[in-house]
Amino acid sequence: MATVNFDEYKNIWVYAEQRDGKLMNVAFELLGEGYKLSRELGEGCQVCALLVGNNIENLASECFAYGADKVYIIEDELLEVYTTDGYTKVITDAIKEYRPEIVLYGATHIGRDLAPRCAARLDVGLTADCTHLNVRVKNYIDYAEANTTLNTATLDPEDPSKNLLMTRPAFGGNLMATIVCKTTRPQMSTVRPGVMDKLEKKSEATGEVVKMDCKLSVNDINTNVKDVVKAAKALVNLSDADIIVSGGRGVKEADGFKVIRDLADKVGGVVGASRAAVDSGWIDPSHQVGQTGTTVKPKIYIACGISGAIQHQAGMQTSDIIIAINKDPDCPMMHLADYALEGDLFKVIPELIEEWN
């Protein structure tokens, strides 16, 4: 590998994923995280959004409102729908030209298709599905001491290195690993949707817009997207929910989800489910919370009849308040919960609906 002059690489880029001219929520979360990292990197570090598509210039104002200092735009008819080849080419060309220090992508089905391809073309490192990022070792120590079992005695809070410390779950959420990329630039990671905090929206915020030339030809794209089909049913928006009421194996059957829905309606929440409930066919997979489903961080998570497999916990353990309702007082979810209520969910929930005001 050729020696890289790290000083040439500056600023934090966020790939602001849009579909059908609408920005994905994770783009705002990444801008918020980018802002946090830019404070750690220090004076002069800018947070830049990268918008790729066709007729998407109007999305720049939303990027500014959520914290972007600068917005790069690449527009072309060939970028109307996402293709791996088209987007990889224009994004890697832009990275080579502007040399960002860090590039963040949302770990969506598209981000996880695009980012590895970009990393391989640029011959740089990529860390998948991150749930925590730091630059300063001092900040990393604070995070580790509050949330993990890591012995921080071997870390120096005054360490001047500014490598991106990318933390992610592995082994089904049983283990956390922090990854560094010391030899290549930019440092890149995909970040799990629903984990990072977006900034408060500042509608009046503006910044510099840089429009890039698009040097894409039809011969660069080796796949043909014939159709994009949206799911007919209403989308379950677990990531944005303040309150989630989830059902698991204890719900026993598809009809059992009625009480879960009743409680969700009462508290103004969204219905979630464990993998056991989804695999049993009681509820659509779009409701699944966990390592293989959606990661959520609501204000209140109510787990009804969910024993709390590690893979489920990995998707909800950072919820502000966890309430567990379960017949088994010793199951892992009852130990994880802030409030553990032992009992039959079919008897407890109707009473709780009465009392919740």
Partner 1 sequence: MRIIVCAKQVPDTNEIKINPETGTLMRDGVPSILNPDDANALEMALEIKDKNPENVEVIIISMGPPQAKEMLEECIAMGADEGILISDRAVGGSDTWATSNAIAAAVRKLGGCDLMIAGRQAIDGDTAQVGPQTAEKMGLPQITYVKEYKFSDDMKKVEVKRALEDGYQIIEADLPCMLTAIKELNEPRYMTVGGILRACDPKVKISVWGAADIGVDLNTVGLKASPTNVFRSFTPKPKGKGVFIDGDTPKEKSQNLAQSLKAKHII
Nearest to 14 by CA among 125, 94, 122, 102: 102
* Min dist. Cβ of residue 157 to partner 1 (A): 15
Residue 296 near residue 289, CB atoms below 8 Å: yes
* Min dist. Cβ of residue 69 to partner 1 (A): 27
Burial class (CB in 10 A: 0-12, 13-18, 19+), 3: exposed
- In the list 44, 200, 222, 330, the residue contacting partner 1 (rule: CB under 8 A) is 222
Closer by beta carbon to partner 1, 68 or else 137:
137
* Min dist. Cβ of residue 256 to partner 1 (A): 16
The alpha carbon of 138 is separated from its chain's Cα centroid by a whole number of angstroms, namely 24
CA distances from 76 to 117, 211, 248 (A): 20, 11, 46
Residue 18 near residue 62, CB atoms below 8 Å: no
The contact mask relative to partner 1 for 308-347 (x = CB under 8 A, - = no) is -x-x-----x---xxx-----x-----xxxxxxxxxx--x
Nearest to 303 by CA among 284, 328, 285: 328
Nearest to 301 by CA among 280, 328, 272: 272
Closer by beta carbon to partner 1, 53 or else 207:
53
69-108 binders of partner 1 (CB under 8 A): 81-82, 84-85, 88, 108
Nearest to 10 by CA among 100, 136, 125, 122: 100
59 binds partner 1 (CB under 8 A): no
* Min dist. Cβ of residue 11 to partner 1 (A): 20
254 binds partner 1 (CB under 8 A): no
Q: Which residue type does 199 have?
A: L
- In the list 7, 227, 255, 330, the residue contacting partner 1 (rule: CB under 8 A) is 227
246 binds partner 1 (CB under 8 A): no
- In the list 160, 175, 200, 203, the residue contacting partner 1 (rule: CB under 8 A) is 175
Q: Are strands 165-170 and 47-53 parallel, antiparallel or unpaired?
A: unpaired
The alpha carbon of 223 is separated from its chain's Cα centroid by a whole number of angstroms, namely 27
Closer by beta carbon to partner 1, 67 or else 288:
288
* Min dist. Cβ of residue 204 to partner 1 (A): 31
- In the list 1, 153, 158, 200, the residue contacting partner 1 (rule: CB under 8 A) is 1
176-205 binders of partner 1 (CB under 8 A): 176-184
* Min dist. Cβ of residue 17 to partner 1 (A): 11
What are the structure tokens assigned to 252, written together?
Answer: 């026993």
143-172 binders of partner 1 (CB under 8 A): 144, 146-150, 165, 169-172
